[in-house]
Amino acid sequence: MDSNRRDFMKAAAFTAAGIGLLDALPAHAQGAPKRGGTLNFAISAETPHYDAHGSDTFATLHFGSPFHSTLLQFDLANYPKVKADLAVSWEVAGDLMTYTFKLAPNANFHDGSPVTSADVKATYDRMRNPPTGVVSTRKATFEDIDTIETPDPKTVVFKMKAPNPAMLEHFASPWNWIYKASILAGNPNAPRTAIMGSGPFRFGEHVKGSHVSGTRFDGYFKSGQPYLDGFRGVFMTQPAAMMNALQGGQVQAEFRGVSPAERDRIVQVMGNRIRAEESSWTLNLMIVFNTEKKPFDDVRVRRALHLAIDRRGGAVGLARTATLRDAGGLIRPGSPFAMKDEDLLKVPGFGRDMNAARAEARRLLREAGVPNLTFVLHNRNLAQPYTPAGIFVVDQWRQIGVNVEHRQSETSPYLAGMSSGNFDVAIDFSNLFMDEPSLALAKYLSFNRAPENRSRAIDAEMDRLYAAQARERDDKKRFELIRAFEKRALDQAYQVPLLWWHRIVLTHANVMGWQMSPSHNLGQDLSGVWLNA
Amino acid sequence: MLGYLVNRTLLMIPTLAGVAILIFFMLRVVPGDIVEVKMRGDGGNVTQETLDYERKRLGLDQPLHVQFGQWMVGVATLDLGNSMWTDRPVVEEIGIRMELTLQVAVMATIIAVLVAIPLGTISALFKDSWIDYLVRIVTIAGLAVPSFWLGMLIILALLYWFNWLPPITYTPIYVDPVANISQLIWPALAVGYRYSAVVARMVRSSIVEVMKEDYIRTARAKGVFEKMVVSRHAMRNAMLPAITVIGLEFAFLIGGLVVTEQVFNLNGIGRLFVQAVSRNDFTLIQSIVMLIAVVFILSNLVVDLLYAWLDPRIRFGGR
């Protein structure tokens, strides 16, 4: 059953990846790797701390993945399959209740001490039961784990409370860096400010506000890797400065993603000296209504604002300038469990007849007693794609007589405002590292179960449907359960998808071995990257 | 002179104390919670227990007067504490950036002085000639063009004509002078152009005024060479307002180059200040404000000392 599911996901994922215009040869077809050189790349945000367990921002991963290892990794050439990282082999019990991992015998931390099962246990215990003062955003992910056993230093056994079909993929999550048990025992919060990993690169320096660097770890457990002598990630928060640096050769890559306009400018100037790779993206923007505030506790108001948005028209216009492209439901369009486009067209809010949709929206607002609604849209002050998305929805709502003040904040205050519920309506994002419905839909669970649900809504029916789809091992039945969940989510409109992102990554043509994927969180340990002189 | 220096130094204490009180209490009035922003600011789901723990760890659970007292004791003993955001010493956070910012400010000042004084003098001496008009066009353009925009033009020009850009990470001048200068000369030029325009216009108008004074006419009547009249008699007096402007502009450059730093991807005090404000990092904001206040006070002190050096009437206290 499980292998059927994987085959299904794999086939569909490649269909989705087909959207990508992979100008480049795949990593495996780029010739024999050459050793040496330093890769300079841009990171468009600086991590606030070093602890991936308590982070949800790519800035932490692009900063620190080269220093760390995880149990498993996604095999990006065969996405969404997983492959070995620290765990060289693994067994999954038929009932999905036991996972046994064998660790690489030669895996060492950068201080020379071996990576053991005790380190894996301490790491996962920290994520699922964070001590006081430790932030773990992975707690809910691993709540299905019952016990972690360490029969010998190189074997770790996870026993589950309940089967979770996506558990193996969760073990490949890029956030689950393995920390050293003895360090955690001394100070559970040490990883927030200090780096001790077993990844392909040793930590060099972090000059605040400037860059992070790493040098090759000669004791890395994967034979022959890494190929680079080192790397330097330069923090470049201004897109214009980043594009100039790419063009001028100060950096050779930026791995998160750029806008179509930026791609066009660089490709026009640099020609075949630059490589542009594209893919649909496991990221979407959402409109979220604070259901604890009036009038957004009224489903008619939420539905009206949802119906007024012309996603089809917006997708065409925004795709020219912003990193947004696809209108879609709760699951990434084109991915295995996504709603088919012909079905999506029939869903209110996703059709083409905007006159009818807006007439209905006006009617709902009148019925709710707020025909001249006014509110503040809480948004992030990032140029891509938050600003154009915000301007777009403000204009859409203006067309039904709603007056909106567009207020943009720095990332941290923006997220803090979202977490504390200090907003009326906001543009939120769903940042996934894989196309697993349980991951994608978790944000829509009731607020008391999923604090990342910024609408703060409680909906027992959605929780029930979520649990049913998460345990369902028959893909067809699961597909139907997901559709039911999606229908309920869009009917209630606590939070609704706006548009899905489109990823464009620019690398200099001599940067080899890096693999494009639908998530900017994956594949950033740089172990397989090399420079073609 | 020594007494004057001691007096001025002692006057710094109440000034800085006033700044400290203002910035400390104003920050506490402004909405925003560092702990919320820090712990939930990267999207994490954090329990109230963790928030309370962090608030206690940072000392934010203490009454305001206790927090203020602790901070003032720290300032008095030159212990500025740790950044509430990064947990690193504030001195370290500022020190990384201060070296770069100070160097850009010094280079821009040198450029401004080297360009502005000759231009302003020539413009004044050839008042209403084509030379004067040319200098005025150049200086008015300098005032009108924002430094960051000029910086963008410089970068695009370097890319277009030389397919080259300055280094994007800072190398101290004592480590690699070539890399250091090749990175910082461009922002210094972009900032120095506006700076020199301000100073040149001040020099011009001062010299034009001074050249009408009786003592200039007297010097000329005594047969002093024109060159000597300008350099010995006119320039010394005309420099007084120009020096004031130079001092103020220099102080402004510490912390006032936010956008220019973004354009050149410079890791300077301006960017740090903006980041600290957006994160409600109280200890860092307070320290940067105090730093800028100290720079303003010191630059004013230097300006006053230069006044005294240039003008004997000031030096001898009117005796």
Window 487-516 of A: residues touching B by CB (8 A cutoff) are none
A211 shares contact with chain B (CB less than 8 Å): yes
CATH class of B92-270+310-315: mainly alpha
Report the SS3 class of residue A74. strand
Q: Are A485 and A469 in contact (CB under 8 A)?
A: yes
Residue A375 main-chain phi, psi, to 5 deg: -160, 175
Mean pLDDT, residues B228-248: 89
Largest CA distance in chain A: 69
For chain B, the structural domain boundaries read 92-270+310-315
CA–CA dist A427, A440 (Å, integer):
17
Q: What is the CA radius of gyration of chain B?
A: 24
pLDDT value at residue A15: 38
Burial letters A301-319, b for 16+ CB under 10 A, else e: bbbbbbbbbbbeebbeebb
A151 pLDDT more than 90: yes
Cα–Cα distance between B81 and B234 in angstroms, integer?
Answer: 50
What percentage of chain A carries pLDDT values higher than 90? Answer: 73
**pLDDT > 60? residue A9:** no
| Structure token pair of residue A160 | 């589950």
Can you list the pairs that A391-399 forms with residues at least 24 positions away whose Cβ atoms lie under 8 Å? Answer: A392/A314, A392/A317, A392/A318, A393/A287, A393/A309, A393/A427, A393/A498, A396/A308, A396/A309, A396/A310, A396/A314, A397/A305, A397/A308, A397/A309, A399/A308, A399/A358
Residue written as token pair 């939070």: A495
Q: Which amino acid is at B7?
A: N
Within the 11-70 window of chain A, which residues sit less than 8 Å (CB to CB) from chain B? Answer: 48-49, 54-57, 60
How is residue A446 annotated by DSSP? -
Backbone angles phi, psi at A426, to 5 degrees: -140, 160
How close, in Å, is residue A474 to chain B by CA atoms? Answer: 32
Interstrand relation of A72-74 and A274-289 (parallel, antiparallel or unpaired): unpaired
- Quick: pLDDT tens for A310-319: 999 999 999 9
Q: Which chain B residues are closer than 8 Å to A234 by Cβ?
A: 168-169, 265
CB contact under 8 A, B168 and A207: no
Largest CA distance in chain B: 85
Question: Is A415 in contact with B41 (Cβ distance < 8 A)?
Answer: yes
8 Å CB contact of B44 and A413: no
Report whether A136 contacts A184 (CB < 8 A).
no
Taking only the tens place, the pLDDT of each residue in A81-111 is: 999 999 999 999 999 999 999 999 999 999 9
Q: Residue B235 pLDDT > 90, yes or no?
A: no
Cα gap A235→A207, rounded to integer Å: 10
Judge whether B57 is closer than 8 Å to chain A, CB to CB: yes
pLDDT band at A20, cuts 50/70/90?
very low
Find the closest chain A residue to B85 by CA distance.
A48
Q: Looking at the predicted structure, is the pLDDT value of residue A167 above 70?
A: yes
Distance from CA of B116 to the nearest CA of A (A): 30
Q: Name the closest residue on chain A to residue B183, using Cα atoms.
A: A250
Nearest CA in chain A to B87: A193
DSSP three-state, residue B236: helix
Answer whether B158 touches A (CB < 8 Å). yes
The closest alpha carbon to B188, from B150, B222, B160, B225, belongs to B150
DSSP state of A114: B
ω into A385 cis (within 30 of 0): yes
Of A136, A244, A250, the CB nearest to B167: A250
Higher pLDDT, B52 or A369: A369
Cβ-defined contact of B88 to A208 (cutoff 8 Å): yes
Q: Do A56 and B43 touch (CB under 8 A)?
A: yes
- How large a percentage of chain A has pLDDT more than 70? 94
Domains, chain A, ordered by start? 33-252+510-531 (3.40.190.10), 280-502 (3.10.105.10)
- The pLDDT score that the predictor gives to residue A182 is 97
Q: CB neighbours (10 Å) of residue A105?
A: 11
Determine the Cα angle at B268 with ends B108 and A193, to 5°: 160
Mean pLDDT across chain A? 90
pLDDT tens-digit map of B175-191: 999 999 999 999 999 99
Question: In which residue are the tokens 């154009």 written?
Answer: A388
Band (pLDDT 50/70/90 cuts) for residue B319 is very low
Q: Where are the alpha helices (DSSP H) in A250-353?
A: 260-270, 299-307, 311-321, 341-344
Task: Kindly state whether A293 is in contact with chain B, defined as any CB-CB distance less than 8 angstroms.
Answer: no
Q: Which residues contact A471 (CB under 8 A, 6 or more apart)?
A: A162, A163, A164, A165
CA-based nearest distance A434→chain B, Å = 18
Tell me if ipTM is over 0.85: no
- A238/B272 touch (CB, cutoff 8 Å), yes or no: no
The 10s digit of each residue's pLDDT in A193-241 is 999 999 999 999 999 889 999 999 999 999 999 999 999 999 998 888 8
Which pLDDT value is given to residue B208? 94
User: Which pLDDT belongs to residue A67?
Assistant: 98
Question: Could you tell me if B291 and B101 are in contact, meaning their C-beta atoms sit under 8 angstroms apart?
Answer: no
**Contact yes or no for B265 and A234 at CB 8 A:** yes
Nearest CA in chain B to A140: B45
Q: Is B20 on the interface with A (CB under 8 A)?
A: no
Closest approach of A143 to chain B, Cα-based (Å): 15
Question: Which of B:220-279 have CB within 8 Å of A?
Answer: 262-265, 267, 271-272, 275, 278-279
The C-alpha of B49 sits at a distance from chain A's nearest C-alpha, in angstroms, of: 7
- Which chain A residues are Cβ-neighbours of B85 within 8 angstroms? 48
Q: Which residues from B are below 8 Å from A283, CB to CB?
A: none
The length of chain A in residues reads: 533
Contact flag B168-A250 (C-beta cutoff 8 Å): yes
pLDDT at B277: 87
Query: What is the Cα–Cα distance from A140 to B47, expressed in whole angstroms?
Result: 13
CB pairs under 8 A between A and B: 133
- Is residue A28 over pLDDT 70? no
